[in-house]
Chain A
Amino acid sequence: DTAVSQTPKYLVTQMGNDKSIKCEQNLGHDTMYWYKQDSKKFLKIMFSYNNKELIINETVPNRFSPKSPDKAHLNLHINSLELGDSAVYFCASSQDWAGGISDTQYFGPGTRLTVL
């Protein structure tokens, strides 16, 4: 049983294109996140949603737009892709928001985005 799943696993696209990455969690968690991991393995949060409400919006270009249709899904849409967007994007979820009793984050398998 996959707890946090992402599609696609690999995404190769041309500069300037628009693409989406989907994330679903079947853990019944209230909070979901998007992280970006660069080529040096540095992991940085991009967005967080709690009960479909945007909680964290880091300094991310507005070409990136998260969308949460329901608590179990958090999709990431990227417009006008640039070379620097190439990275691995991880979705994560936690039962509670930070500071709650069950705020441990569980990560998906990642989506490797390559922009040519």
Chain B
Amino acid sequence: GESVGLHLPTLSVQEGDNSIINCAYSNSASDYFIWYKQESGKGPQFIIDIRSNMDKRQGQRVTVLLNKTVKHLSLQIAATQPGDSAVYFCAERENTDKLIFGTGTRLQVFP
């Protein structure tokens, strides 16, 4: 069946360093990908998305990279801050189907 997974369940980084959160997906027909951030006790918050006709998309301090050849998605956070501490989810979708979420990676930022 379809699956979206993450390589690392927990990522610890020092404040100011760059963070890279990885995600592998299995459905080669997926054409839309999205990253969400979920802080403790809150709902998922949209960070950035990318469609399959792109390899890279940048936002404010965040960059999403898509490698369709190996079905890999990554979220890069520049100059990680304590406020970036959260669980990060990738999700994929094929055409007009539902979003399928990955299992999540917890990002811990240390001073």
The chain A residues found within 8 Å of chain B, CB to CB, are 4, 40-45, 48, 56, 58, 90, 92, 97-99, 104-110
Whether the pair A98, B89 counts as a contact (CB closer than 8 A) is no
In contact, A107 and B44 (Cβ under 8 angstroms): yes
Residue in B32, B43, B95, B96 whose CB lies within 8 Å of A107:
B43
- Count A/B pairs, Cβ under 8 Å: 50
A107–B41 alpha-carbon span in the complex (Å) = 12
Please state if B43 and A110 are interface contacts (CB–CB under 8 Å): yes
B residues near A (Cβ < 8 Å) are 32, 34, 36, 38, 41-46, 49, 87, 89, 93, 95-99, 101, 103-104
Please measure, in the bound complex, the distance between the C-alpha atom of A44 and the C-alpha atom of B101, giving whole angstroms.
Answer: 7
Contacts of A105 in B (CB 8 A): 46, 99
- In the bound complex, how far is the Cα of B45 from the Cα of A92, in angstroms? 10
In the complex, chain A residues whose CB is within 8 Å of the CB of B49: 104
B45 to chain A: which residues have CB within 8 Å? 107
Instruction: Pick from A41, A92, A108 the residue with the most CB of B within 10 Å.
Output: A41
Given known A-B contacts A41-B104, A43-B89, A104-B34, A109 and B99 have beta carbons under 8 A apart: no
Contact A109 to B42, CB < 8 A, known contacts A42-B101, A104-B34: yes
Q: Are A41 and B103 in contact, with the CB atoms below 8 A?
A: yes
Q: Once the chains are docked, how many angstroms separate the CA of A104 from the CA of B44?
A: 12
* Sampled A-B contacts (12; CB under 8 Å): A41-B103, A41-B104, A42-B103, A56-B98, A98-B93, A98-B99, A99-B32, A104-B34, A104-B46, A105-B99, A107-B43, A110-B42
